[in-house]
Amino acid sequence: MDEDDSSTQTDGRFQTSEEIPVKKIVLTFGLIAGVVLSAEMVLTIPFMDEIGFNRGLLVGYTTMVLAFLLIYFGIRTYRDNSPSGTVSFGRAFTIGILIGVIASACYVATWEVYFFNFAPDFMDKYNAQILEEARAKGETPKALAKKKVELEESAERYKNPLINSAATFAEPLPVALIVSLVSAGMLSRRRKISNE
């Protein structure tokens, strides 16, 4: 068979002579994004008392958006290396969300190690700030007492590694989902030929 005409149907997947390294793209961009997310966490949390939890959230989610820009570049790398110069929306979204899942898994793993070994009082400090903000808004002592009980129950559940991991995973994943959808929409068309 001619090397230029080696398209085959294998295991239900359409392959060409130039198989696109999807796993390599997903792992490379996912791990880089994961390192960015993890580094931001490790560098920010020790200074949470100084910058405050609200500013910390702002820094954290800003970093997530920047890290997940790698989803766009991962999808574009796949598209630009495709023999046809195209990628379907579904394929682009799948690549994007896989990059996001890998990055989020790195984020979760880092938090689990950090929380259980270096920040056991994190929830106490967080709950104290929530209560202080509620007190500043003028909530009644009864309402504050109820909120305190709810926060203590939540903190106790958070000590369970499975619940902790699930809650942490839910932080970056929606951002990855949005970036994947937008990137897939932008890139699921033929790349422009420079000499056209």
Task: Tell me how far apart the alpha carbons of residues 96 and 183 are, in angstroms, rounded to a whole number.
Answer: 8
Q: What is the pLDDT of residue 46?
A: 85
Mean pLDDT in residue range 190-194: 49
Q: What is the pLDDT of residue 171?
A: 95
Q: What is the pLDDT of residue 4?
A: 43
For the cut 80, the answer to whether the pLDDT of residue 195 exceeds it is no
Mean pLDDT in residue range 143-172: 94
Count CA within 13 A, CB hemisphere, residue 180.
Answer: 22
- Range scoring the smallest mean pLDDT among 30-39, 133-142, 160-169: 133-142
Task: Tell me how far apart the alpha carbons of residues 28 and 48 are, in angstroms, rounded to a whole number.
Answer: 30
Task: Tell me how far apart the alpha carbons of residues 129 and 133 are, in angstroms, rounded to a whole number.
Answer: 6
Mean pLDDT in residue range 96-111: 97
Percent of the chain with pLDDT over 90: 62
Q: What is the pLDDT of residue 92?
A: 96
Are residues 22 and 2 in contact, defined by beta-carbon separation less than 8 angstroms?
no
Band (191; pLDDT cuts 50, 70, 90): low
For the cut 50, the answer to whether the pLDDT of residue 11 exceeds it is no
For the cut 60, the answer to whether the pLDDT of residue 28 exceeds it is yes
Which residues contact residue 175 at a Cβ distance below 8 angstroms, ignoring those fewer than 6 apart?
A: 61, 64, 65, 68, 100
Does residue 5 or residue 51 have the better pLDDT? 51
State the burial class of residue 142 (Cβ atoms within 10 Å of its Cβ: 0-12, 13-18, 19+).
Answer: exposed
Which residue in 187, 196, 27 sits closest to 101, CA to CA? 27
Digit-coded pLDDT (tens) for 46-98: 888 788 888 888 999 999 999 999 999 999 999 999 888 899 999 999 999 99
Band (45; pLDDT cuts 50, 70, 90): confident
Q: What is the pLDDT of residue 33?
A: 98
Quote the mean pLDDT of the chain.
86
Percent of the chain with pLDDT over 70: 86
Q: Which two tokens stand for residue 187?
A: 């890139």
